[in-house]
């Protein structure tokens, strides 16, 4: 499925609000392999770029083009937010919800919920209200709910920004397993350590513009732009 969506091509893509350009114009081509990390300092436009690609930010200029029909591409995507969004229901009901929306029989959905709860370490929490879970547990639930429909692509907006080291490791392990099973992941972060651990490809964004993109090893070993070099050194870039 991943290869049917990609390449994703942005040509002069931009989004504005109240006359202010937030991102763009952006020219970017992403293929359907591995885990892509969108990097940049706070306020660089990472979240907006993800939303522009996902289709939840209004395109005000240029094009965002998938290898298939846009509606088909969006049907096979999911989005995980920095602050977990969970329903005021049980963990099991949260996991069942996206499957039931797609017409999956309740018994089949419950079996899938039990499988995914075990996979992310929440099997003992299935009957609990999702709102009482810790932040890390809620993010694991949000990630499992995104993956349970077997999407070709998942966007993740700084999914570990507010988590401690242990929870971050657990989330990263889930992401790497999903990648190994063929799910394409596009993740934003300003955490260089995380990007070095998990990225196959890097998109560096600053001031709403894509400054550099390429394989992660090449980016970290020899960034091509002065802005990227300064960012990797830990300098303040604006």
Domains recognised in the chain with CATH numbers: 2-86+133-233 (3.40.50.300)
Reported as a single tens digit per residue, the pLDDT across 133-142 is: 999 999 999 9
> 36 burial class (0-12, 13-18, 19+ CB within 10 angstroms)?
buried
| pLDDT (0 to 100) of residue 23 | 96
| pLDDT (0 to 100) of residue 1 | 44
Q: Which two tokens stand for residue 125?
A: 């929490």
| pLDDT (0 to 100) of residue 3 | 52
Cα(238)–Cα(181) distance, integer angstroms: 37
| pLDDT (0 to 100) of residue 234 | 86
Give rounded-to-5 percent helix, strand, coil for the chain. 40, 25, 30
Q: Which residues pair with 63 in a beta bridge?
A: 11
Under 8 Å between Cβ of 206 and 49: no
Q: Which residues pair with 213 in a beta bridge?
A: 203
Cα(56)–Cα(192) distance, integer angstroms: 26
Q: Which two tokens stand for residue 178?
A: 């999903």
CA distances from 209 to 114, 117, 152, 160, 221 (A): 42, 39, 26, 24, 22
Say whether pLDDT at 62 is over 90.
yes
Reported as a single tens digit per residue, the pLDDT across 189-217 is: 988 899 999 999 999 999 999 999 999 99
Share of the chain above pLDDT 90, in %: 83
Cα(20)–Cα(79) distance, integer angstroms: 25
Say whether pLDDT at 6 is over 70.
yes
Reported as a single tens digit per residue, the pLDDT across 142-157 is: 999 999 999 999 999 9
């Amino acid at each position: 499925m991943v290869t049917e969506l990609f390449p994703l091509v942005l040509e002069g893509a931009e989004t504005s609000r109240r006359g202010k350009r937030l991102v763009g114009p952006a020219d970017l081509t992403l293929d359907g392999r591995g885990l892509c990390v969108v990097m940049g300092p706070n306020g660089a436009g990472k979240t907006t770029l993800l939303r522009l690609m996902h289709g939840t930010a209004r395109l005000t200029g240029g094009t965002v083009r998938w290898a298939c029909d846009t509606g088909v591409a969006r049907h096979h995507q999911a989005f995980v937010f920095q602050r977990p969004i969970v329903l005021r229901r049980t963990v099991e009901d949260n996991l069942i919800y996206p499957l039931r929306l797609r017409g999956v029989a309740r018994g089949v959905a419950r079996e899938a919920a039990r499988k995914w709860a075990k996979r992310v370490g929440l099997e003992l929490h299935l009957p609990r209200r999702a709102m009482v879970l810790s932040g890390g547990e809620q993010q694991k639930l949000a990630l499992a709910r995104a993956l349970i429909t077997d999407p070709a692509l998942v966007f993740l907006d700084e999914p570990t920004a507010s988590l401690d080291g242990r929870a971050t490791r657990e989330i990263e392990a889930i992401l790497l397993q999903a990648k190994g099973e063929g799910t394409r992941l596009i993740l934003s972060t300003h955490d260089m350590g995380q990007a070095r651990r998990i990225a196959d490809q890097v998109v560096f964004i600053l001031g709403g513009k894509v400054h550099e993109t390429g394989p992660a090893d090449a980016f970290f070993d020899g960034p091509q732009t002065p802005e990227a070099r300064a960012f990797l050194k830990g300098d303040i870039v604006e």
